[in-house]
Amino acid sequence: MPRTDRFRLADLPRTTAFRMTVLFGALTVTVVLLALGVVYWRAGVFLTRRLDETLVREAAEFLRASVPEQATHIDSLVDSDRRGHWRAALLAPDGRHLAGDLASVPKELQALDGGIHALPQGPAPTPERHHAARGLARRLADGRILVLTVRTNEVHEVRELILRAMAAGLVGGVILALAGGVALSVGTLRRIEAIHRASATIMAGDLSQRLPVRGSGDDFDKLAAIVNAMLAKIEGLIGDMKVAGDNIAHDLRTPLTRLRTRLEGALRRGGDIEAHRAAMEDAIGDADQILATFRALLRIAEVEDGRRRAAFAPVDPGPLALAAADLYEPLAAAKDLTFTTDIRPTAPIIGDADLLFEALGNLLDNAIKFTPSGGTVTLALRQEAGQAPEMIVRDTGPGITPAQRDMMFRRFTRGDHARHTPGNGLGLSLVAAVVQLHGFRLAVEDGQPGCAMRVTLGDAQG
C-alpha cells in the first residue's frame, strides 16, 4: 500500500485554511484598528470642542453678573470644583489679584484676545501640578482681566481608554485569528488525512473503498461525493470488463472448440473434396459467428467512446420510426406476427440518426425474435404536452422478470428463454450505450403480456 503521511502540527502553517484565516484575521484587526483610530481622533476633537464651549459659556455667565458679583462668581467657580479642573482669576488693570486661584496670566494667554488657547503645561506654578489645559483671557471694558482655564484630563482619559481598547483588540484579534487558523487547519488536515488513507487503499487495488463523507454538506463532502460517484462508475466498468471477459471466454470457447474439432476431424478423415468443402463451410460459419461477436463489441466500444457527440444534429423521430417500421414489418410477417404502428408527429431531437436507427432496430429485432407466432409487435412514437418525445416498442412475448431487468443490458447477458435463440447477448448492450450517449432514458416495463421498452428522447420541453 502507498505510504500515507501522518498529521503533524508543523503542517498547520502551510495549510490554506490557516493562511486564509490569518489573512482575514489580519484584515479584521486592521479594520478594527482603523475604526478605533477614527474614534480616538473624533473623540478628542469632540471633547475638546465641548471644553471650549464650556469655557465660552462660563465667560458669558461671568459677564452677565454685576460688577460687584463678578469676583464672587470667580471664587465660587474655583471653590465648587472639588476635582480641581477649573483654574480662574480676576485681575485688576495693573495686574493685582482680585479673585480666583491664579496669581497671573499664563504666558499662552497674555495676548488677552478672548480666544481659546491650549496650555500644554497647564496654569500651575509648580511642575508637580502641571496638567494640560484649555483657557482664555480677555480684558474687560473697565480694564480688568478675566482668566479662565479648564484641565483636559477627561479628554486624555477617554483617549487612553480608546488606546487600551485598541491594544486589547489587537492582541485579542491576533489570538483569535491564530486560534481559528489552528482549529480550521486541524480539521482540514484530518479530513485530508482520511481522504489520503482512503485513496491509498483505492490505489492499492480495493475499488470498493470510498472517500469518507461526514454528511455536513461542506466542500469536502461535495468533492468526496463526486469522487465516490466516479469510483462507483469505475468499479462498475471494471466489473463489467471482468464479466465481459469471462463471458467472451465462455461464448467463444464453444465456437472455437467446434471449429477446431471440425477442422481436426476433416484432417483425420481425409475423404473427397466435397467432404472437405463442407467442413470448411462449417468452419467459416463458426469463424463468422466469432467475428460477429467481436464486431458487436467494437461497435459498443465505439458508441461508448463519446466522440460521436460532435456529429449530433437535429433529428426528426417520425421519419426514423417509419423507416424502421418499413424494414422490420416484413420480418414480423414472415414469422406470422402482427406488426402495428402508432407514429405521431413530435418535436425534433438532437442526436445521431444512424445510431438511433440502429438502437431502434435492435429493439424491434429482439421483440420479433422472442414473440411467438400469432403474437403482436407494436412501435409507437408520441409526445405529450410539455413532455419529451417517447418511443415505445411493445411485444406479447414471454416478458422480462424484474430480477432480469437490472442485468439485461450487460454484455453477453441472455435470459433463460433466449438460451436456444441465435444471438450473442450484445444487442441490448448496444441500445443502452446509444441511449446513454444521447443522455436519453431507457425503461423496461411489463407489457401484460410481454414487455415494453420505453425510450424517452430528451428532457421535458419548456
Is 2 a residue whose pLDDT tops 50? Answer: no
One-character DSSP codes across 74-86: HHHHHHH-TT--E
Q: Are residues 323 and 432 in the same domain?
A: yes
Q: Are residues 109 and 236 in the same domain?
A: no
- Cα dist from 204 to 2, 201, 233, 333, whole Å: 7, 5, 18, 57
294 falls within a domain: yes
Cell of 96: 493685582
Give the max Cα distance, the chain: 160
Cell of 252: 467463444
Is 5 a residue whose pLDDT tops 60? Answer: no
212 falls within a domain: no
DSSP tag of 258: H
- Total tally of structural domains belonging to the chain: 3
What is the rounded distance in angstroms from the CA atom of residue 201 to the CA atom of residue 4? Answer: 10
Give Cβ neighbours of residue 41 (< 8 Å, ≥ 6 apart): none
pLDDT tens for 331-343 read 999 999 999 999 9
Give the residue-averaged pLDDT of 438-451. Answer: 84
183 falls within a domain: yes
92 falls within a domain: yes
Q: Are residues 253 and 366 in the same domain?
A: no
Residue 87's DSSP bridge partners are 149
What is the rounded distance in angstroms from the CA atom of residue 125 to the CA atom of residue 106? Answer: 9
265 falls within a domain: yes
DSSP tag of 5: P
What is the rounded distance in angstroms from the CA atom of residue 357 to the CA atom of residue 394? Answer: 17
Is 440 a residue whose pLDDT tops 70? Answer: yes
Q: Are residues 162 and 243 in the same domain?
A: no
435 contacts 391 by C-beta, under 8 angstroms: no
What is the rounded distance in angstroms from the CA atom of residue 408 to the CA atom of residue 425? Answer: 9
Give the residue-averaged pLDDT of 388-397. Answer: 91
Give the E-state strand segments of 294-359 in sequence order: 313-315, 338-343, 349-351
Q: Which domain holds residue 256?
A: 219-305
Here the CATH number for the domain that contains residue 325 is 3.30.565.10
211 falls within a domain: no
- Per-residue model confidence (pLDDT) at position 421: 53
Is 377 a residue whose pLDDT tops 90? Answer: yes
What's the half-sphere exposure (Cβ side, CA atoms, 13 Å) at 152?
A: 25
| Nearest one of 394, 405, 403, 406 to 449, comparing CA atoms | 394
Q: Are residues 182 and 239 in the same domain?
A: no
178 contacts 25 by C-beta, under 8 angstroms: yes
Its sign, for the CA torsion 164, 169, 174, 175, is: positive
- Cα dist from 51 to 108, 123, 326, whole Å: 17, 16, 104
Q: Are residues 189 and 153 in the same domain?
A: yes
| Nearest one of 170, 161, 158, 160 to 31, comparing CA atoms | 170
461 falls within a domain: no
Q: Are residues 265 and 321 in the same domain?
A: no
One-character DSSP codes across 429-460: HHHHHHHHHHT-EEEEEE-SSSEEEEEE-SSP
**Which pLDDT band holds residue 21 (cuts at 50, 70, 90)?**
confident
pLDDT tens for 194-240 read 877 888 888 887 777 888 887 777 777 888 888 888 888 888 777 76
78 falls within a domain: yes
DSSP tag of 11: G
Backbone angles phi, psi at 378, to 5 degrees: -125, 135
Q: Are residues 299 and 418 in the same domain?
A: no
Give the domain-ending residue among 305, 338, 372. Answer: 305
**Which pLDDT band holds residue 379 (cuts at 50, 70, 90)?**
very high
Q: Cell match 502641571: residue?
A: 130
pLDDT tens for 295-352 read 666 666 666 666 667 778 899 999 999 999 999 999 999 999 999 999 999 999 998 8
Q: What is the pTM of this model?
A: 0.47
121 contacts 130 by C-beta, under 8 angstroms: yes
Give the domain-ending residue among 253, 281, 305. Answer: 305
Q: Are residues 93 and 21 in the same domain?
A: yes
Percent of the chain with pLDDT over 70: 79
- Per-residue model confidence (pLDDT) at position 321: 92
133 contacts 85 by C-beta, under 8 angstroms: no
291 contacts 283 by C-beta, under 8 angstroms: no
Q: Are residues 228 and 191 in the same domain?
A: no
- Per-residue model confidence (pLDDT) at position 381: 93
Q: Are residues 150 and 224 in the same domain?
A: no
What is the rounded distance in angstroms from the CA atom of residue 75 to the CA atom of residue 87? Answer: 10
Q: Are residues 132 and 15 in the same domain?
A: yes
Give the domain-ending residue among 305, 335, 359. Answer: 305
Here the CATH number for the domain that contains residue 289 is 1.10.287.130
